[in-house]
């Protein structure tokens, strides 16, 4: 089993295993091979489909026709599908909608959640147990789809972008994770700032947040991914097709096999491959997530688990 041993000396090759404790028997060759095989298979099961999607999106119509559909080996790379999609029109608009909803929604969610998490992070503060219980109870029930729909409708949020943000703006789980992290911050530090006359907002902004970069990065990613991936609320609350975010447009293009508005002609006449266009939309949807999440990955354990499953 692994241990957090000291890092291998610099002159050692990077693939060399760190030394094992003396009592641990060295791994057998068959065991190593078996583990490597399973791990490689698991990783390929994830990467191979993505590879095909990316390569096909970059292939010309000719390559795709020759391959009989999906392309596994890149031949002549072309960005024509992306150029067509991003030069205005349905997909460009949907992408802009998704980006804006994600940015505004994430900012709003983070502001609300960080404030609430900090407000509840002082043990013994007035009413914080009641508030916590009120929040946590929502993790065990849901009011139901129909009443939620009727509520959004009664609030006059139908066909507005607020309907994509407000109903799912607060995640109690995220607040609890933030709160757990804030509570781990040295109380002496906070108290000394208070004695120096700093108000709560200032303590949060100047002391607590700078110490919580890891958890803030993780929770920001969670919220952003949530907004970016959401499609159900849009399908429920938006009637105007022009307002639809990227995910909803992707459903139409890939699942219902429709051509994007305005590109149907180019696909019919053979300049553009419908398949490449589908794949390009999928790449647009996965790119931000695939690029950002590995950067936040190193914080996952530190940021999330200290807050979520301590002890």
Partner 1 sequence: MSHSTAPRSDTGAAKEPETTPVVSGDTTGGTGGGRRSTAGPPEGSRLRLRLRWRRDRALLLMSVPAVALILVFNYLPILGNVVAFEDYDPYISDNGVVSILNSSWIGLEHFEQLFGDPAFWHAVQNTLILFLLQLLLYFPVPIALALLINSVVRPRVRAVSQAILYLPHFFSWVLVIAVFQQLLGGAGLLSQLLRQHGFDGIDLMTDPETFKYLVTAQSVWKDAGWGIIVFLAALASVDQELYEAAAMDGAGRWRRMWHVTLPALRPVIALLLVLRVGDALTVGFEQILLQRDAVGPEASEVLDTFVWWYGVRNQDFGYAAAAGLVKGVVSIGLVLAANKVAHLMGEQGVYRK
The binding track of 240-279 with respect to partner 1, each residue x by CB under 8 A or -, is -------xx-xx--xx-------------------x--xx
- Does 74 interact with partner 1 (rule: CB under 8 A)? no
Q: Residue 187's CB: how many other CB atoms inside 10 A?
A: 11
Distance CA 56, CA 277 (A): 9
Residue from 86, 99, 104, 170 touching partner 1 (CB under 8 A): that is 170
Stretches 82-90, 192-200, 207-215, 263-271: which one binds partner 1 (CB under 8 A)?
A: 192-200
Radius of gyration of the chain (CA): 25
Q: Closer to partner 1 at the Cβ: 166 or 211? A: 166
Q: Closer to partner 1 at the Cβ: 210 or 256? A: 256
Size of the site for partner 1 (CB under 8 A): 126
Bridge partners (DSSP) of residue 77 are 59
Task: Return the closest-CA partner of residue 94 out of 204, 271, 253.
Answer: 253
Query: The tokens 């589908």 sit on which residue?
Result: 278
- Does 26 interact with partner 1 (rule: CB under 8 A)? no
Residue from 21, 73, 210, 269 touching partner 1 (CB under 8 A): that is 21
Distance CA 155, CA 99 (A): 25
Instruction: Report in angstroms the alpha-carbon separations of 237 from 145, 154, 157, 164, 233.
Output: 12, 12, 8, 8, 6
The binding track of 194-213 with respect to partner 1, each residue x by CB under 8 A or -, is x--x-xxx--x---------
- Does 237 interact with partner 1 (rule: CB under 8 A)? no
Distance CA 97, CA 136 (A): 32
Residue from 11, 30, 76, 154 touching partner 1 (CB under 8 A): that is 154
Residue from 9, 10, 11, 14 touching partner 1 (CB under 8 A): that is 14
**Do 251 and 234 form a contact (C-beta atoms < 8 A)?**
no
Element (H, E) at 119: helix 90-119
- Does 37 interact with partner 1 (rule: CB under 8 A)? no
- Does 129 interact with partner 1 (rule: CB under 8 A)? yes
Residue from 59, 102, 113, 220 touching partner 1 (CB under 8 A): that is 113
- Does 9 interact with partner 1 (rule: CB under 8 A)? no
Distance CA 254, CA 91 (A): 13
Stretches 77-85, 89-97, 150-158, 259-267: which one binds partner 1 (CB under 8 A)?
A: 150-158
Stretches 87-95, 176-184, 207-215, 260-268: which one binds partner 1 (CB under 8 A)?
A: 176-184
Q: Residue 302's CB: how many other CB atoms inside 10 A?
A: 14
**Do 120 and 184 form a contact (C-beta atoms < 8 A)?**
no
The rounded Cα 142 to chain-centroid distance in angstroms is: 23
Residue from 176, 214, 215, 216 touching partner 1 (CB under 8 A): that is 176
Q: Closer to partner 1 at the Cβ: 19 or 88? A: 19
What tokens appear for 42 in the block? 């698991």
- Please, which of residues 53-72 interact with partner 1 by CB under 8 A? 53, 56, 68-70
Instruction: Report in angstroms the alpha-carbon separations of 260 from 43, 69, 110, 238, 302.
Output: 33, 19, 34, 19, 43
CB of 217 to partner 1, least distance (A): 14
């Amino acid at each position: 089993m692994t241990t957090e041993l000291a890092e291998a000396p610099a002159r050692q090759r990077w693939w060399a295993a760190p030394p094992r404790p003396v009592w641990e028997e060295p791994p057998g060759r068959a065991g190593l091979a078996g583990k490597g095989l399973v791990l490689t298979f698991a990783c390929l099961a994830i990467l191979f489909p993505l590879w095909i999607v990316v390569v096909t999106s970059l292939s010309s119509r000719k390559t795709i026709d020759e391959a009989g559909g999906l392309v596994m080996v890149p031949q002549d790379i072309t960005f024509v599908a992306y150029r067509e999609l991003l030069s205005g029109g349905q997909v460009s608009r949907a992408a802009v909608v998704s980006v804006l909803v994600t940015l505004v929604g994430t900012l709003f969610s983070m502001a609300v959640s960080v404030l609430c998490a900090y407000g509840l992070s002082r043990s013994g503060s007035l009413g914080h147990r009641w508030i916590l219980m009120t929040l946590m109870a929502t993790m065990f029930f849901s009011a139901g789809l129909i009443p939620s729909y009727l509520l959004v409708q009664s609030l006059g949020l139908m066909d507005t972008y607020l309907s994509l943000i407000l109903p799912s703006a607060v995640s109690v789980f995220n607040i609890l994770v933030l709160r757990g992290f804030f509570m781990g911050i040295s109380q002496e530090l906070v108290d000394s700032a208070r004695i120096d006359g700093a108000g709560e907002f200032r303590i949060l902004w100047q002391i607590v947040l700078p110490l919580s970069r890891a958890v803030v990065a993780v929770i920001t990613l969670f919220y952003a991914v949530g907004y970016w991936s959401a499609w159900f609320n849009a399908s429920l609350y938006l009637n105007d097709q022009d307002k639809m975010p990227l995910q909803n447009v992707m459903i139409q293009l890939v699942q219902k096999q429709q051509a994007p508005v305005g590109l149907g002609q180019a696909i019919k006449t053979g300049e553009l491959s419908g398949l490449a266009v589908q794949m390009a939309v999928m790449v647009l949807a996965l790119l931000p997530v695939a690029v950002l999440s590995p950067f936040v990955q190193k914080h996952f354990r530190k940021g999330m688990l200290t807050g979520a499953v301590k002890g």
